[in-house]
Structure 1
Amino acid sequence: MSNPPADKRYLVYLASNASGLDVERYEVQRLMARHGMVNVGLACREDAGPYDWNLVRSQIESADLFILLLGDDYGPMAPTGISFLHREFVHAKSLNKPTLAFIKNSLPEKNHTEAQRRLLGLHRIVAQQSPYKLWHLREELLSQVRAALSSNLLTIGPGWIPAQCSVAPPPAVAVPAATEEPMTPRQRQSRSRQMLNLQVTAKVYQGGNLSLEEVLLPARLDKLLNPLQGLLQKGASEDRLRSQLEGLISPTVRTQLLERKPNAHAVDDIRISRTQFQQMLQNWKVLGLIRSNGEAGRAVWQATGNVIE
């Protein structure tokens, strides 16, 4: 990383299990802070509240760098049999996030337990897909992290400069909004019933390998709105609405992909295209079925109570 501005900051997702790594995690965060890096990672643990994948996913997506810190444990697992930590690494790689990995070299050479076999499998995947270093003692780990973060070869996202350090942009010139011709009742009905192919992606695990698969689900625009009405009565964010729809289609997507990949053992991270879902929201809004309060990512969507005959 070549000499960034002194006041530049970077978001880093430090991924690790909580068990046995409290001190190491603290020390790594101190080294990160010296390089203007702010940790947005959440340590995986079993003694706290439910694992919030939607929150974790958004944190990874916003990060400029992903650091994986592996210790002695594979860690808490999702119902699919994949550990949360494994899932976080796979998601970061699917986004082509700059990634560093530090793997504790503590597994015995043979007679592995099932948990150790899973951890060894993760070791192999990380070694194939990311720059990594092996460590055994804490001092060795910190020396490696220090060198990696100081390296001129470190790849990292764009980061940001705090508001008080940046130059205020010139005031925007207001541009008149384009207006649409009002639709007739027949046009509104036709538009609400248009068919679309819902673009869905999912990660499929097969024989220790992972592939990103796409599924197209034919659906009608108004039918996709119906299962969201409960959330829309109270108001909900775009992410929450999309997550609700993803949960509803997951069994269908999982069945289709397991039929397509008969040797697969797990299907995970089923997602609807964000761009397509945003277009759907705008269509429902134009039809007068929902409205939004707020701006961009902070908008809350609510049902208007209007019905198309």
Structure 2
Amino acid sequence: MKRRRTFSLLVFILPSALIYTLFVMYPSLSGLYYSLTNWDGISPSYKLIGLSNFREIFQDPLFYKSVKNSFTFAFLVVVIKNALALGFAILLDKKLRLTGFFRSVFFMPAILSSIIVAYTWVTILNPVFGSWQTLFQAIGLDGIAKLDLLGSRSTALYSVVFVSIWQNMGYAMVIYLAGLQTIPGDLYESAGMDGAGRWKQFLHVTFPLIAPALTINLILSTVNALKEFDLVYILTGGGPFDSSQVIGTAIYKIAFEMNRFGYGIAMSLILFLIIAVISLGQLRYLKKREVEY
């Protein structure tokens, strides 16, 4: 019976293990190998160059520019998105007539493809015929209407930040809503009887008890923001003049446009390490915070 059970388990595990090995483990290990080569992604011949790619990365201005933009993008998205998501979650936690409708409206962008969202906002923000122009011209603000938000070095990155928050805020809001609905109403009644106003109830009841939801949202938001590619690539292409170039689009530019796959893979490994260090640091700190509360 023991052997039969073990055999049955192996039979069920084997297909998924095989798929995982072929599509996750093998590409990851081969990527580690190719990062030590000068492979161009096309030619069957290449040679090992050791750590030359990694040494070049830390002397590459594009790498530092993309890292700076990625951290700026991630910081703004994580802070603003979670603040808005928590605020709307608190408002929509109440059982009002249109609560269900507004929950659906806010969550809807999160289920749309990033490609659809990006092309929609490219059309809206078009400086010639976009809805942005029509709206501000209609209210007499022609100066704002003429702004090319995606084509200006000073506004391109922040425009992508806005679109990212618009798309993903609803997803974070749903997680906060789930956390809020686990808080017993008796706690708010007790806090109110002790003289605590709404702000103090939020600080001493709501905020500590939604710690698990906050942990999930902060980690997911940070990881997704640091590896952002779709929105940036379609909205701005990393331009103008690399002003909105993030690590994901820089890797694509190096690997597919400059045909330096070995160098691009080396940069992607550094991105993996950056995300791993930051997310593990967040997890350790936020889990400690949960225990303290």
Answer yes or no: same fold by TM over 0.5: no
Larger fraction in strand? 1
State the TM-score, normalized to the length of structure 1: 0.20
Larger fraction in helix? 2
More contact order relative to length (CA 8 Å, sep ≥ 6): 2
